[in-house]
Structure 1
Amino acid sequence: MSQVLRGRAVGMLIAGMSTRDARELNVHFSTISRLQGRFREFGSTSNRPHNRRPHLTTLDQDLHIQHVHLQDRLRPATRTAAETIGLHNHRISAQTVRNRLREAHLHAHHPHRGLDLTPVHRRNRLEWVNSHMRWRLAGWRGVLFTDESRFTLFKADGRQRMWRHVGERFSDVNVVDRVDHGGGGVMVWAGICYGRRTQVHFIDRSLNAQRYRDDILGPIVVPYIQQHHLMLQHDNARPHVARICTQFLEAENIPVLEWPADSPDLSPIEHVCNALDWRIQQRVPVPANIQQLRTAIEEEWTNIPQATIDNLINSMRRRCVTLHEANGGHTRYSLVV
């Protein structure tokens, strides 16, 4: 806390406000409590004398360190340390750079891996959201969101860590076997709308436009949409936008929601499929073969609460507002790719 903020907090406490009420300063109440105890004991809010190592960088150098790392977010601390000379011609360490960045509330995190959105993609996404941002909730509740997803038997999320001694990296106990192509998997088509969902449909062969029309659109999508008076949403995958499919949907009088390319963050079914995958990975025991995987997909698909699906569909207006604020760029609804 700055000295001005400390003085303001003490003034509020003297005026009779409790430590919890003083949280309106955007500081945890325990910090306010310690500040109150220090003021009662020493009559001051200043930090007590300490024997910590003095800073090797000046205030201008601290600002420069912040600036270069904000300009280049992937810049390593070691590079900045090698290019910076501290006080008394002392070299600074990479840890010093990290300390200065943490003091400026800059912390190192894994970057979000999103789709490569070109200027054309961003412009099309922005045009789409401008024409749909004023849709009412009832409009989004009348859309059948559909998609295909692949589920594999084995998945490495990159977050596993292992405790080992130095020099034991290649010991058998420290090696996790990698399974090519996830050990096999299945492709699944499914659809969701407000208040209901379709059954999952397993795609046994590679999906092309003719199979999409004959195996999915004709027997599943068209009767479902006609029964519940919905609008179809699917992305711009080649089988979806092929001429034989578009002509078939026009002949059946099926309304199709226009969709911008590379926009999985706008589709709530992407998050439903992600939740389905997570539920499958949490099963005990996990599926060990393709048949067990198919059974797990069918069971967990029906176990997803309908309220979860409805909340995701209700978020469509918020997704549009977020995309508009991002000027057609990445949004917080993006999943890791």
Structure 2
Amino acid sequence: MDRNIIRASREDPRRTSTDIQVVVTSPNEPVPSRRTIRRRLQAQGLHGRRPVKKPFISEKNRRSRVEWAKAHLSWGRQEWAKHVWSDESKFNLFGSDGNTWIRRPIGTRFDPKYQTPTVKHGGGSCMVWGCFSSQGMGPLRRIVGIMDRFQYEDILENTMRPWALQNVGRAYVFQQDNDPKHTSLHVRSWFQRRRVDLLEWPSQSPDLNPIEHMWEELERRLSGVRATNADQKFAQLEAAWMAIPKSVIDKLLDSMPRRCQAVIDSRGYATKY
């Protein structure tokens, strides 16, 4: 019975104790209680956990990810020296979008100490675009309204390009993901006119982009710091962004071989990065 319980859980990790109870029940043996099933699973190290959320990756994109990882596996800090990494991210004024848990006494639900403040009419977040290279942190640009191809072209022309020419040089290589506004004909035309080299990028690959961890670094630096409006939030973000030391950049670029190896080992599926 113990072996059947473990086997049922490993066959389908999403089975609950009730589901397993139905699977292992037979006419010739006593029915194990759900509590007994949970104890048996925990004894084998099979604890209930919230599954990590990762993007679905198609077979075609998995192959592309592995090919890209193999092509760049041996690249070091020298090969990445001319690359400019970019991305957009949203930061909430009052913390995370997800569910948060608190411990409070009975009858204190509406005590301000145990509340999560919100802002009406969508004023609770600040969207930004940022970039960096091996030379240092690039500019942080606030995104007003919905980011479209015209606003993105303005960011490239008036924010990214002047900084890249001054700090990286004319031979810089620009990295961006395959968001539709990034790959639109309008934006592609701008890259052609400005003769900007693009890093070929596999779809659904945030784990290969070190700027994702740069956003996490920025979030950590502002942990516990609140803002009353989006203007104040952007000022906090910009100050913390520019204060990120070059040692963080070097550490992220040094992680690229490990990221590539992780993609190869996972056969193109999402990795821990």
CA distance in structure 1 between the partners assigned to 2:178 and 2:260 by the alignment: 19
CA distance in structure 2 between the partners assigned to 1:185 and 1:85 by the alignment: 51
**Following TM superposition, by how much is the alpha carbon of 1:80 offset from its aligned partner in structure 2, in angstroms?**
1.7
Q: Aligned in 2, Cα 1:261/1:85: closer, same or farther, shift over 3 Å?
A: closer
Q: Aligned in 2, Cα 1:204/1:182: closer, same or farther, shift over 3 Å?
A: closer
Partner of 2:179: 237
**CA deviation string 1:241-292 (max 9, x = no partner):** 1223222222322211011111111111111112212332322xx1121222
**Following TM superposition, by how much is the alpha carbon of 1:114 offset from its aligned partner in structure 2, in angstroms?**
0.9
Partner of 2:103: 162
Q: Aligned in 2, Cα 1:178/1:89: closer, same or farther, shift over 3 Å?
A: farther
**Following TM superposition, by how much is the alpha carbon of 1:163 offset from its aligned partner in structure 2, in angstroms?**
3.7
**CA deviation string 1:97-132 (max 9, x = no partner):** 122122222222110011121222212222222322
CA distance in structure 1 between the partners assigned to 2:208 and 2:176 by the alignment: 11
1:219 to 150, 154, 158: 158
CA distance in structure 2 between the partners assigned to 1:226 and 1:120 by the alignment: 35
Q: Contact 2:123–2:230 at 8 Å: present in 1 too?
A: no
The alignment-based identity, stated in percent, is 29
**1:149 and 2:89 equivalent?**
yes
Partner of 1:323: 263
**1:98 and 2:35 equivalent?**
no
**1:186 and 2:126 equivalent?**
yes
Cα RMSD after superposing both structures: 2.6
**CA deviation string 1:146-205 (max 9, x = no partner):** 11112221234423133455xx69x54498467367643222111011130112111223
Q: Secondary structure at the match of 2:39?
A: helix
Q: Contact 2:130–2:140 at 8 Å: present in 1 too?
A: yes
1:290 to 230, 234, 238: 230
CA distance in structure 2 between the partners assigned to 1:181 and 1:97 by the alignment: 47
**Following TM superposition, by how much is the alpha carbon of 1:85 offset from its aligned partner in structure 2, in angstroms?**
4.9
CA distance in structure 2 between the partners assigned to 1:71 and 1:89 by the alignment: 21
Q: Secondary structure at the match of 1:277?
A: helix
Q: Contact 1:148–1:188 at 8 Å: present in 2 too?
A: yes
Q: Contact 1:190–1:200 at 8 Å: present in 2 too?
A: yes
Q: Secondary structure at the match of 1:191?
A: strand
| More off after superposition, 178-187 vs 64-73 | 178-187
Which structure has the highest helix share of the two?
1
2:67 to 119, 127, 144: 127
Q: Contact 1:231–1:255 at 8 Å: present in 2 too?
A: yes
CA distance in structure 2 between the partners assigned to 1:62 and 1:278 by the alignment: 44
TM-score by length of 2: 0.87
Q: Aligned in 2, Cα 1:163/1:263: closer, same or farther, shift over 3 Å?
A: same
**1:268 and 2:210 equivalent?**
yes
CA distance in structure 1 between the partners assigned to 2:53 and 2:121 by the alignment: 20
2:137 to 197, 203, 207: 197
Q: Contact 2:86–2:176 at 8 Å: present in 1 too?
A: yes
Partner of 1:34: none
Q: Contact 2:73–2:257 at 8 Å: present in 1 too?
A: yes
Count of residues paired in the alignment: 267
1:312 to 241, 252, 262: 252
CA distance in structure 2 between the partners assigned to 1:306 and 1:137 by the alignment: 13
Q: Aligned in 2, Cα 1:315/1:247: closer, same or farther, shift over 3 Å?
A: same
CA distance in structure 2 between the partners assigned to 1:313 and 1:122 by the alignment: 22
- In structure 2, stretches of 5+ residues that fail to align are none
Partner of 2:189: 247
- In structure 1, stretches of 5+ residues that fail to align are 1-60
CA distance in structure 1 between the partners assigned to 2:116 and 2:151 by the alignment: 36
Q: Secondary structure at the match of 2:212?
A: helix
Higher relative contact order (Cα pairs below 8 Å, separated by 6+ residues): 2
1:279 to 218, 221, 225: 221
Of structures 1 and 2, the larger Rg is shown by 1
Letter of the 1:97 partner, please give it. I
Partner of 1:31: none
1:116 to 56, 67, 74: 56
